[in-house]
Amino acid sequence: MSDLDRLMAAAICLADLAADIAADAWRSDIVVDYKPNGSSVTPADLLIEERWRSEIRRQFPSHGILGEEYGPQAGTSAFTWVLDPIDGTRQFGAGLLNYASLIAVCRDGVPVLGIIDTPVPHARYAAAAGQGALFAGRQIRSSMRTDMTGAVISLANPDSFSDETAFGYEALRSTGRVRVHDGGALAYGALARGRVDACINGDDLDAYDICALCPVVQEAGGVITDWRGEPLTLASRGGIVASASPELHAKVLERLQGSL
């Protein structure tokens, strides 16, 4: 079994563990608290990350860990797990469905494995470098669309765009055939299976929001970068953009960079 195969098997077990906790919490009366920065947190966020960290330390004691709730833990190997127990806690706490658990593994800072998982309605995207992207266990591909005119474009919550990036948001909001809003991580999964053609997010992202999306999009044939077209890594922060094809990505970046 290769390193990636072993890591994927472990990541799927982590996703299964989180799915049970998140689904039970979502169906119950969710208690929502707020961090000093104003973002939402629930007991499910904390419990999932605690369980994940315990399992990773048990199975991969030399690996580093970066999680949204408990921060970084240095490792001695090339691998770092990047964890967001519930991405979209604001929606999760409001009883909405566009949330996901994000699990990534970076090798030397580069995302090589990603899982986007939501237990309701049992939607899981998984990808590893060189092995393709799967949704519900089947191979998926992006639409490979190259034109903006007919594109389905997913735009993040308008509040996530700062004064600097709001112009880019407006540049994409006025184009395409269909616009959808605030899809979160699941919008990038939808891009990987050909339902969405371009996604943008604003300045409020951290590595644990970003890394799991990269292998899913890339292994499905799409492109994902920051707004300047730079590759995404463990060190990435801020706005990101993904497109169904290199040709479409160049056109999206042209619109976004005109606003920077």
Annotated binding site for Mg(2+): 68, 84, 86-87, 209
Count of H helices and E strands in the chain?
A: 8, 15
3-state helix, strand and coil shares in percent for the chain, rounded to the nearest 5: 35, 25, 40
Q: Name the pairing type of β-strands 40-41 and 33-34.
A: antiparallel
Side chain identity, residue 250? A
Binding residues, by number, are 68, 84, 86-87, 209
User: How far is Cα 41 from Cα 85, in angstroms, rounded to an integer?
Assistant: 10
User: How far is Cα 22 from Cα 140, in angstroms, rounded to an integer?
Assistant: 25
Side chain identity, residue 98? N
User: How far is Cα 92 from Cα 88, in angstroms, rounded to an integer?
Assistant: 6
Instruction: Scan for tokens 């030399």, then name that residue.
Output: 62
Under a CB-based contact definition with an 8 Å cutoff, are residues 158 and 170 in contact? no
Q: Look up residue 118 and give its DSSP letter.
A: E
Q: Look up residue 160 and give its DSSP letter.
A: G
Contacts of 5 (CB under 8 A, 6+ apart): 128
